[in-house]
């Protein structure tokens, strides 16, 4: 044991220690598991906290920023580990005479407050015999109620989700695939391409990667539906973080002042110009999702081709494929019609070319308030809906999730909000838009398949809400699936008890 | 005449020429009238276009970015003035042998395409005898329908608005007052204050400025209501633009590389740290409006004190004051209750202290989608509503106004949207939230006074919509008031014709 602090948020975490939020984000993007160690956290650290397995701070109590935010995120957290001295400058921490460098592995036990050197063996949420039996009962009582799917981006996660009882995948985020170290340079090439031909060449290389990813997921989910969302974030996210941008500006000024290394200066100038050209004042509300799909149709074209080639290849191997291609950020009927038609055209082209009749449908996220309000029109061109309650919460409240830590802790403390609306679905406001969206969507298409793929899909009170408003399924990350199965069963039972009471 | 280009958007404009968008924004913030001259415009220029009186480009046709965006904004614009050569680096333009430096005054005639050296005398939208008579008829037929107010931030604009027939002020934006050159240093002192006492000292100085501004506006609007919105933008907007930030980073790196001027290095470090501490990923959805009022109650306390001291001082001079204090960005009933009570407490304190019973009420902007959905609860603690349709449009569509130029021109061109929703109110989506907000608000408070203060308040089809949904008034900038009076009368007449048709 390295040190003991306060047990702020339960759960075990193992990962490489990092000393700032940006590094946490960078390393997690390339698939590393990290633990963020800070003297204390502040709102600037929130993105890094999301990216980490767990958080440990040297200062602060159970109501400190780190503790409050980690509980909200469901991350393991130890605070006030005062034996630890974090030296951000030298990128080491020392505790009781021992020194840990950035990248060294440590473990946290958020239930006891222990901080441990090296990786401790953890138990991966296996289900006891009793729990498994309970879940069988739950599934029995859940019949005719809510389905439970998983959010998963890789074949490994898809497999785990299936073992946990997932009845499909509700969300594959295709952008995560582009952050892998072998792909991000190609993604950047595509973004910075000077000619359409150069862009297409980069897209062709990305297509091969994407196809292989999808084949693995279809195989893992043989016989079950897989919802794949087309590219969602703005392109500048793939170029440089704010910190990387600053470092490039600093380096360029230094080289200029010293009049050295003109080649590097020119290269920095090119990259900085691209970053500045793509920069947005509010990226969350910017040029992303289907807006990108419409202004740069090659990107969605590449993705749809990759999905359908994978679907046809898997189907040919005997896998029962059920692909659901999902358009993000739709807000107008024009966008929906345009992307629906584009997608169908490309997909049917692949089916015709391969001669394999792989089964697929095209639907949309409902995550922009306007989409919920005009859901009757959207449903004319969408074969399924999935409520993206993370973004819908951001836009309905007008809260940027990356900035909310500047005021949300004060709101919770003063009782101005009952919960963090990113953890527990706000039934009153966001839920009202969901009710409106479902009612209007089914007016046009009575059998519309409707799910939720925000992080609320694994939270019990939110699951009950989804049942009550008539959703087809919830989707959540795989560790939350057993809880979601149970919550869905409880909602169904509560409803039936109500029915029989009303009947008597 | 300096050059002739294509007449892209009508109207006359006179101002100091600037060669980039940032300078346009900076200069306009301190009250200068500017004309933006560019080789051609791109999405990065949009904020600068908003800040300018008019736009002239050397390249491009009537469907170029500059032309499309300027028409949407209602700005005078000349494009394709190919005789003009813009030299951004040296900050001059040359045309037909003449050289114009940044800051020199030029004039545009967007109706003919003429670009003219020096200020041309323009006619300030005076109303002919015939138009004035028409407006008298309009007001007669408008009785019992929509009121027309003005958005105005200064006593001069308030006076002009009154001459144009404004029946009150629907929006005073208090933050504009802080950008004046004599005030912005105090504002920065307040933001960067190391102690509460230092912060309060800066606030006390700002309070005196604010009070004087408000006295002038109350005097100009003697007998008519004046709605004053408390501070709305995030604090970092007062510290540095992205461009200023980059310049500071560059300067610091240069000084460090050359190992000179350590004092300046330290100062830059302090300012950069403050900017980075306050930076937000999505400022539009960040720590602003009432969120700031709740976490930093001293700021709103200062503003409410200044408003009420001004109201009492004006009332004592015999001015009939009707102050409406407006809370921006409310989204939850908790925020509304908290800020309503804080405001009442401070305001009543001033009234008690001065012994002058100045009339005031406290209400809110409805600009966050969630506020419209829970308007019945909000109305328990708000004496009036004003729909902030600029922000409501941003959040309902999920469009950042500063970034929308990256895809909106393509949407308009492809027919995916019928109009720029920031120019013409989107009745289908944003309008649906307005209908819901009005219906629910009046369920709680049947006589609720309801207005609109977004830029849609001066656009004819939007004015008609406001009438149909039962608003009390529209508010727009003073040049648009005659048009709004006419549109409101037409809506009323159309409605009555419909009534009599239905009756017969």
Window from B208-217, B270-279, B366-375 with minimum mean pLDDT: B270-279
**Max mean pLDDT range (A59-63, A180-184, A187-191, A320-324):** A320-324
Task: Look up residue A253 and give its DSSP letter.
Answer: H
Residues of A in contact with B251 (CB under 8 A): 253
Other C-beta atoms lying within 10 Å of the C-beta of residue A396: 30
CB A51 within 8 A of CB A13: no
Positions of E strands within B45-103: 54-57, 76-79, 84-87, 92-95, 98-101
B396: nearest Cα among A292, A421, A285, A456: A285
> Is the predicted pLDDT of residue B88 greater than 80, yes or no?
yes
The residue with tokens 């027309």 is B148
Q: What is the pTM of this model?
A: 0.87
Chain A nearest C-alpha distance from B26 (Å): 16
Interface A-B: count of C-beta contacts within 8 A: 216
Region for residue B319 given its phi and psi (left: phi exceeds 0; alpha: psi -120 to 50; beta: otherwise): beta
Hey, are the CB atoms on B334 and A249 less than 8 Å from each other? Answer: no
Hey, are the CB atoms on B414 and A287 less than 8 Å from each other? Answer: no
Q: Which of B403, B408, B409, B437 to mutate to test the interface with A (most CBs of A within 10 A)?
A: B403
Please report the pLDDT score of residue B437 as a whole number.
98
Quick one: which H or E segment has residue B235? none
CB B334 within 8 A of CB A410: no
Hey, are the CB atoms on A258 and B257 less than 8 Å from each other? Answer: yes
3-state secondary structure (DSSP) of residue A440 = helix
Residues of B in contact with A432 (CB under 8 A): 373-374
Hey, are the CB atoms on B402 and A280 less than 8 Å from each other? Answer: yes
Hey, are the CB atoms on A399 and B285 less than 8 Å from each other? Answer: yes
Q: Which of A312, A453, A466, A476 is catalytic?
A: A453
CB B58 within 8 A of CB B39: yes
pLDDT, tens digit, 9 for 90 and up, residues A47-77:
788 899 999 999 888 777 888 778 766 789 9
Hey, are the CB atoms on A373 and B432 less than 8 Å from each other? Answer: yes
Q: CA of A247: which chain B residue's CA is closest?
A: B249
Residues of A in contact with B433 (CB under 8 A): 369, 373
Give me the residues paired with residue A364 across strands: A327, A385
Hey, are the CB atoms on A406 and B295 less than 8 Å from each other? Answer: yes
Bridging pattern class, strands B34-38 and B114-117: unpaired
The reply to whether A453 belongs to the active site is yes
Hey, are the CB atoms on A282 and B403 less than 8 Å from each other? Answer: yes
To 10 degrees, what angle do helices A196-220 and A155-163 make?
A: 20
pLDDT, tens digit, 9 for 90 and up, residues B437-491:
999 999 999 999 999 998 799 899 999 999 999 999 999 988 789 999 999 999 9
A396: nearest Cα among A419, A425, A376, A374: A425
Q: Read off the tokens for B335.
A: 């925020």
DSSP calls for A346-366: HHHHHHHHH----EEEEEEEE
Mean pLDDT of chain A: 92
**Max mean pLDDT range (A106-115, A267-276, B371-380):** B371-380
Residues of A in contact with B373 (CB under 8 A): 396, 428-429, 432-433
Give me the residues paired with residue A375 across strands: none
Q: Which of A242, A285, A428 sits opposite B394 (nearest CB)?
A: A285
Q: Which of B282, B395, B417 sits opposite A369 (nearest CB)?
A: B395
Residues of A in contact with B393 (CB under 8 A): none
Cα-Cα end-to-end distance for chain A = 61
Quick one: which H or E segment has residue B191? helix B184-192
HSE (CB half, 13 Å, CA atoms) of A478? 22
Q: Which residues 6+ apart lie within 8 Å of B360 measured at CB?
A: B307, B308, B311, B321, B322, B323, B324, B325, B347
Q: Indicate if the alpha-carbon torsion angle B56, B61, B65, B70 is positive or negative.
A: positive
Q: CA of A290: which chain B residue's CA is closest?
A: B407
CB B66 within 8 A of CB B57: yes
> Is the predicted pLDDT of residue A466 greater than 90, yes or no?
yes
The residue with tokens 């929006």 is B171
Distance CA A57, CA B256 (A): 32
Residues of A in contact with B295 (CB under 8 A): 406-407, 410
Q: Which of A243, A274, A370 to mutate to test the interface with B (most CBs of B within 10 A)?
A: A370
Residues of A in contact with B415 (CB under 8 A): 334
pLDDT, tens digit, 9 for 90 and up, residues B289-343:
999 999 999 999 999 999 999 999 999 999 999 999 999 999 999 999 999 999 9
A38: nearest Cα among A25, A29, A48, A30: A48
Chain B nearest C-alpha distance from A416 (Å): 4
CB A375 within 8 A of CB A440: yes
What ipTM was assigned to the predicted interfaces of this complex? 0.86
pLDDT, tens digit, 9 for 90 and up, residues B53-64:
999 999 888 777
The reply to whether A476 belongs to the active site is no
Task: Look up residue B89 and give its DSSP letter.
Answer: T
Chain B nearest C-alpha distance from A195 (Å): 19
Residues of B in contact with A259 (CB under 8 A): none
Chain A nearest C-alpha distance from B19 (Å): 17
pLDDT, tens digit, 9 for 90 and up, residues A314-349:
999 999 999 999 999 999 999 999 999 999 999 999
Q: Which of B44, B253, B292 sits opposite A253 (nearest CB)?
A: B253
pLDDT, tens digit, 9 for 90 and up, residues A196-232:
999 999 999 999 999 998 999 999 999 999 999 999 9
Distance CA A330, CA B3 (A): 44
């Amino acid at each position: 044991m390295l040190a003991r602090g306060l047990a702020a948020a339960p759960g075990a975490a193992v990962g490489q220690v990092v000393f700032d939020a940006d590094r946490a984000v960078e390393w997690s993007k390339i698939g590393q598991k990290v633990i963020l160690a800070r003297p204390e956290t502040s709102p600037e650290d929130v993105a890094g906290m999301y990216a980490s397995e767990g958080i440990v701070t040297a200062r602060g109590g159970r109501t400190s920023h780190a503790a409050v935010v980690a509980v909200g995120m469901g991350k393991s957290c130890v605070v006030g580990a005062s034996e630890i001295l974090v030296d951000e400058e030298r990128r080491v921490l020392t505790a009781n005479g021992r020194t840990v460098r950035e990248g060294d592995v440590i473990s946290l036990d958020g239930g006891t407050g222990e901080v441990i050197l090296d990786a401790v063996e953890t138990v991966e949420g296996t289900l006891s015999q009793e729990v498994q039996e309970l879940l069988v009962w739950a599934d029995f009582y859940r019949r005719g109620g809510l389905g439970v799917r998983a959010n998963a981006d890789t074949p490994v996660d898809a497999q785990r989700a299936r073992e946990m009882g997932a009845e499909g995948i509700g969300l594959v985020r295709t952008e995560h695939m582009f952050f892998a170290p072998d792909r991000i340079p190609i993604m950047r090439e595509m973004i910075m391409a000077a000619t359409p031909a150069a862009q297409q060449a980069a897209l062709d290389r990305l297509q091969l990667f994407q196809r292989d990813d999808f084949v693995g997921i279809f195989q893992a989910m043989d016989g079950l539906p897989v919802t794949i969302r087309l590219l969602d974030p703005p392109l500048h996210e793939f170029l440089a973080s704010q910190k990387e941008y600053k470092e490039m500006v600093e380096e360029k000024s230094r080289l200029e002042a010293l009049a050295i290394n003109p080649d590097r200066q020119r290269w920095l100038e090119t990259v900085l110009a691209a970053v500045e050209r793509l920069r947005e004042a509010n990226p969350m509300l910017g040029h992303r999702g289907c807006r990108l799909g419409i202004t740069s149709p090659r990107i969605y074209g590449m993705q749809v081709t990759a999905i359908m080639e994978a679907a046809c290849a898997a189907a040919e191997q005997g896998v029962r494929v059920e692909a659901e291609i999902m358009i993000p950020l739709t807000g107008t009927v024009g966008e929906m019609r345009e992307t629906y038609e584009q997608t169908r055209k490309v997909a049917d082209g692949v089916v015709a070319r391969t001669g394999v009749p792989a089964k697929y449908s095209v639907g949309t996220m409902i995550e922009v308030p306007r989409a919920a309000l005009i859901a009757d029109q959207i449903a004319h061109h969408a074969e399924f809906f999935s409520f993206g309650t993370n973004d819908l919460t951001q836009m309905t409240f007008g809260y940027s999730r990356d900035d909310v830590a500047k005021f949300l802790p004060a709101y919770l403390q003063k009782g101005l909000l009952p919960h963090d609306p990113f953890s527990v679905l706000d039934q009153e406001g966001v839920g009202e838009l969901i009710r409106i969206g479902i009612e209007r969507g089914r007016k046009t298409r009575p059998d519309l398949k409707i799910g939720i793929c925000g992080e609320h899909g694994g939270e019990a009170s939110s699951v009950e809400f989804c049942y009550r408003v008539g959703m087809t399924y919830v989707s959540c990350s795989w560790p939350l699936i057993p809880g979601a199965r149970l919550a869905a069963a409880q909602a169904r039972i509560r409803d039936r008890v109500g029915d029989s009471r009303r009947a008597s």
